[in-house]
Amino acid sequence: MSAKSLPEIILVPGAFGTVACYDKLLPLLKEAGFSTHPGPYPSYNHANPVEATCVDDITSLRNNVILPLVEEQQKDVVIVAHSYGCVPASAAAKDLDKQTREAQGKKGSVVGLILIAGIITLDGETAVEAMGGLPPYVRMDGDTAFVKEAMHYLYHDCDPATAFELDKYLAGHAAPALATKPTAPAWADSGFDGRRVYIRTINDRCKHLSDQNQWLKKTNVEWKVVDYETGHYPFRSQPKAVAAHIVEFVNDFVSL
């Protein structure tokens, strides 16, 4: 496959973190010929958290990251999202699947979704509702949520010597974004049949395997599921394996 035909990859972080958490993936994806783009959203480290909403995250991600690539540059893209980031990423890709775009006579599309230990919300369901309430590792300070014991809950299988480096990526997250409703998810559409991947993290202390299984089951659509014997950050503890799988998945999307 020529570099020209490769989709671009958008990397969307989970709550509390920045796209810098993917830094170990970047050289590996670049070596495989892929261009990558950060997919931030405003509820991370929000200046006025009471005003944050999930829809703001979706709108920002769609208008500032996805559409400039898909609409303006007419690129095909694959979205890789983690944890809460899967909620705004899934909604931001709505009606941008290849099937829909081609039917409209348009070039550029979202050719695949790769969710890593992702919260999956149904239409009208908030992230907090999907999780059954705020999890025990969350500490509230006003309208801002913080992670308690990050090394224990988020990256317990990573090298403890990297704890300081990993903690640098963490900040407060506007809790209202987690508790307000997103718009409808793109993964529910037939245009993403064969284009949905979910990476389950078997030893996850943050998003337990039972939760991940429940989220997948309630979608009533088919996913390609890959299991990692890791905690919540497989792209930190096993970056080479995750990068190899991303390359494999993208090649599958392109071949459809």
Burial 95-110 (b: 16+ CB within 10 A, else e): ebbbebbeeeeeebbb
Mean pLDDT (whole number) for 153-173: 90
CA–CA gap between residue 76 and residue 71 (Å, rounded)? 10
pTM comes to: 0.97
Residue numbers of the domain that contains 134: 3-255
pLDDT of res. 4:
53
How far the first Cα of the chain sits from its last, in Å, is: 14
Q: Which residues touch 207 (CB under 8 Å, ≥6 apart)?
A: 83, 117, 118, 119, 201, 232
pLDDT tens string 231-252 = 999 999 999 999 999 999 999 9
Count of structural domains within the chain:
1
At 5, is the pLDDT very low, low, confident or very high (cuts 50, 70, 90)?
confident
Length in residues, the chain:
256
CATH number at residue 174: 3.40.50.1820
At 151, is the pLDDT very low, low, confident or very high (cuts 50, 70, 90)?
very high
Mean pLDDT (whole number) for 185-192: 98
Beta bridge partner(s), residue 198: 115, 225
Which of 8-12, 19-23, 210-214 shows the lowest mean pLDDT across its residues? 19-23
